[in-house]
Amino acid sequence: MSVLRQFIREVISEQASISPAEEAAEAFSLPQGEWVSVETGDPMRNVIAGELFDMLQATYAPIGGHFKVSAPKDLERYKYWVVADIDEDEQPDVALFAKPDIGGTKMGAAANDGTPAAANAYKDKSAELRAGGAIGSGANWWGEVSGKPAYAMLKRGAPAVEDQAKVMQLLDGEDVVWHGAHPDPNAPALFKSVNGWYTKKFGSKESTKIILGSPTL
């Protein structure tokens, strides 16, 4: 057998043994400092799902985890994985998760690697999308927030949905107590500057929230 023929056979054999997932892993590389929307059907999702899940678990650990995501496969509930690599490696450091919903694209989870840079990157991108920004095929981004995330989004210019009828339509029948103005007299001035606040229960716990974003109704 000629050397050339042997080489060709070896190349064909190697290519046949590489799975689609392995090919995607070899090809996967996030552009540094740029946000990318990895949407349903993209083979990259299989490559990064485990890492994003671990990052999400660490992000939500202080509150006992994300109640809708308990395994990597649960991330498939979200059509949009908006991810970015902001350091020197080629791995995602920050991510937003969202899905199509009433009025546009509803954010449902977020994760970062725990560094201040990644936390700030999340806040900046989330506020940008809520204020009318777009990425991938998603548009009219919105989501419920409370506490520190709400403060960070409002501080960065994310608009509040203040009309009660619109809020109730977006919540699609969820049982909430409407307040309008923030019910806590000691709330930050930034919270008192907008209406749209309501309280809802998560199991035995209650949380005062507001919808920030640009849904179309």
Q: What pLDDT, on a 0 to 100 scale, did the predictor assign at position 31?
A: 81
Q: Can you give the residue range of the structural domain that contains 39?
A: 28-129
Whether the CB-CB separation of 164 and 178 falls below 8 Å is answered with yes
Is residue 111 assigned to a domain? yes
Give the burial string for 12-46 (b: 16+ CB within 10 Å, else e).
eeeeeeeeeeeebeeeeebeeeebbbbbeeeebbe
Highest mean pLDDT among 29-38, 89-98, 120-129, 201-210: 120-129
pTM for the whole structure: 0.84
More confident residue, 204 or 190: 190
CA atoms of 26 and 21, how far apart (whole Å): 9
Q: Say if residue 179 is in the same domain as residue 214.
A: yes
Q: Say if residue 70 is in the same domain as residue 116.
A: yes
Confidence of residue 45 (pLDDT cuts 50, 70, 90): very high
Is residue 154 assigned to a domain? yes
CA atoms of 68 and 184, how far apart (whole Å): 28
Q: Say if residue 34 is in the same domain as residue 123.
A: yes
Q: What pLDDT, on a 0 to 100 scale, did the predictor assign at position 64?
A: 86
Q: Say if residue 124 is in the same domain as residue 177.
A: no
CA atoms of 186 and 134, how far apart (whole Å): 35
The token duo for 50 is 């485990």
Q: What is the mean pLDDT of residues 103-114?
A: 96
Relative orientation angle of helices 20-27 and 44-60, to the nearest 10 degrees:
70
More confident residue, 14 or 164: 164
Q: What pLDDT, on a 0 to 100 scale, did the predictor assign at position 5?
A: 47
Is residue 214 assigned to a domain? yes
Examine the pLDDT at 26 and tell me if it is beyond 70: no
Q: Say if residue 35 is in the same domain as residue 98.
A: yes
Is residue 12 assigned to a domain? no
Q: Say if residue 33 is in the same domain as residue 70.
A: yes
The predicted-structure confidence for 48-94, as pLDDT tens digits, reads as follows: 999 999 999 999 998 888 889 999 999 999 999 999 999 888 789 99
Q: What is the mean pLDDT of residues 150-160?
A: 98
The predicted-structure confidence for 158-176, as pLDDT tens digits, reads as follows: 999 999 999 999 999 899 9
Give the burial string for 172-209 (b: 16+ CB within 10 Å, else e).
eeeebeebeebeeeeeeeebeebbbbbebeeeeeeebb
Confidence of residue 8 (pLDDT cuts 50, 70, 90): very low
* CA-based torsion, 169, 173, 177, 182: positive or negative: negative
> How many domains is the chain partitioned into structurally?
2
Relative to beta strand 176-180, strand 141-145 is unpaired
Q: What is the mean pLDDT of residues 15-25?
A: 51
Q: Say if residue 51 is in the same domain as residue 121.
A: yes
Confidence of residue 4 (pLDDT cuts 50, 70, 90): very low
Q: What is the mean pLDDT of residues 127-152?
A: 96
Q: What pLDDT, on a 0 to 100 scale, did the predictor assign at position 102?
A: 96
Q: Say if residue 116 is in the same domain as residue 144.
A: no
The predicted-structure confidence for 113-127, as pLDDT tens digits, reads as follows: 999 999 999 999 999
